Amino acid sequence: MKLRAAILSGLILTLSTSFNAQTTWVSPALDLAIDARSAALGCKLAADVDFDGFSSSYNPASTDSTNYNVIYITYLNYLASTNLGAVNAVVKSNSKYAIHSGARFVSYGEFEGFDSSGWPTSNFSGGDYYVQSGISYKIDSSITIGATIWGGFRNLALENVGAIGADFSLMKRWKEKIMAAGILVSGVGRQFASTGSQPVGWTPYNIQVGFTKGFNHAPFQLYVNLQNLQTWDLAPDGTYDDGFDPLTGEIVPNGKWKFGDQFARHLNVGVELSFGTNFIAQIGYNYRQRAEMIAKGMQGTNGLSMGVGMKIKDLNIRLARNTYHFAGSSTHLSIGVNLPS
């Protein structure tokens, strides 16, 4: 069993790190943690103590038979008229495996059309639309592996491009210690068959490792996540360059700790508080998001995220706020609906 897990882990890393060819731009539907709980904790979760059907849209090892007979729906008011959504459900399961299917999308809204001479034409809309299906499989009582295949297209007026890809994950849980660790490789895919100016090539992927720890006599769990490990230096060009004083002509040394800053740009941390079986709350911190989302020297709440979740009979409702752009915070709403038996 351990050998199979090691082989799978090596295969995931080998496949993902081999795709260093030129990449296209990433779709928010594939890149963002759309569901409210993940967004509140600041990132996609590579490790989680409990199985959570909401996050199965991006992490195939996050669900099992306990999530059967529930539809998980998420909506994100991202920016202006740009909206994202996801729907997922376990369609077949037993004690060893769970097969889940669903969809993810991003709608960019409606745009005014003009011809080459500047005369208005009909309005048009745009978006990315993906369907997916995956499986999680329990190698033993503590190790779960998973893979999801997704495919779809981008449409913008008369321009289209297809896309197909996969997400992979490996997670180990120590239930008695309230602890979990995992590896997640998401967004490994390729765009093809473009019409118009839509790019083709490999889609940007994300290699993550995560660690989660809860406590027997404390009502919270800690989440530590390292993402985008396929690229060490995530800082914009010039971040570590020395400055120049135009009055004195002197070089102003850059006092930023380069290694610490580079490492922290991969790091996400979060805390989930439990107030009984039917109410939870989360807060997360994303250093990279805070460092890069600066307007006129002001950061505000950039990099901070928070959310709450509650169960009301057959409904599981979650709400989160996260800041992805200078225009303000975005709202995530997730609803899990138990179907009649």
Note the pLDDT of residue 13: 38
In a domain, 240, yes or no: no
Note the pLDDT of residue 296: 67
In a domain, 251, yes or no: no
In a domain, 257, yes or no: no
Q: What is the distance of C-alpha 337 from the center of its chain? A: 22
| 43 Cβ contact partners less than 8 Å away, ≥ 6 residues apart | 33, 208, 225, 227, 268, 270, 284, 286
pLDDT tens across the length of the chain (341 residues): 443 434 333 433 333 333 444 567 788 999 999 999 999 999 999 999 999 999 999 999 999 999 999 999 999 998 878 999 999 999 999 999 999 999 999 999 887 877 777 788 788 888 999 999 999 999 999 999 999 999 999 988 878 899 999 999 999 999 999 999 999 999 999 999 888 888 889 999 999 999 999 999 899 999 999 999 999 999 988 888 888 878 887 888 888 899 999 999 999 999 999 998 899 999 999 999 888 887 666 677 788 999 999 999 889 999 999 988 777 789 999 999 998 86
Beta partners for residue 325, in sequence order: 328
Counting the structural domains of the chain, the total is 1
Contact 55, 225 (CB under 8 A): no
329 φ, ψ (degrees, to nearest 5): -80, 155
In a domain, 91, yes or no: yes
Measured CA to CA in angstroms, residue 248 lies from 204, 243, 251, 332 at distances of 44, 12, 9, 50
In a domain, 324, yes or no: yes
Note the pLDDT of residue 131: 97
107: its two tokens: 């709608």
The pTM is what? 0.86
In a domain, 14, yes or no: yes
Q: How far, in Å, CA of 139 to CA of 294, rounded?
A: 45
* Burial readout 62-78 (b: 16 or more C-beta within 10 A, e: otherwise): bbbbebbebebbbbbeb
In a domain, 286, yes or no: no
Q: How far, in Å, CA of 104 to CA of 148, rounded?
A: 13
In a domain, 220, yes or no: no
Note the pLDDT of residue 4: 42
Range of the domain at 163: 2-114+125-213+308-338
Beta partners for residue 36, in sequence order: none
48: its two tokens: 């989680």
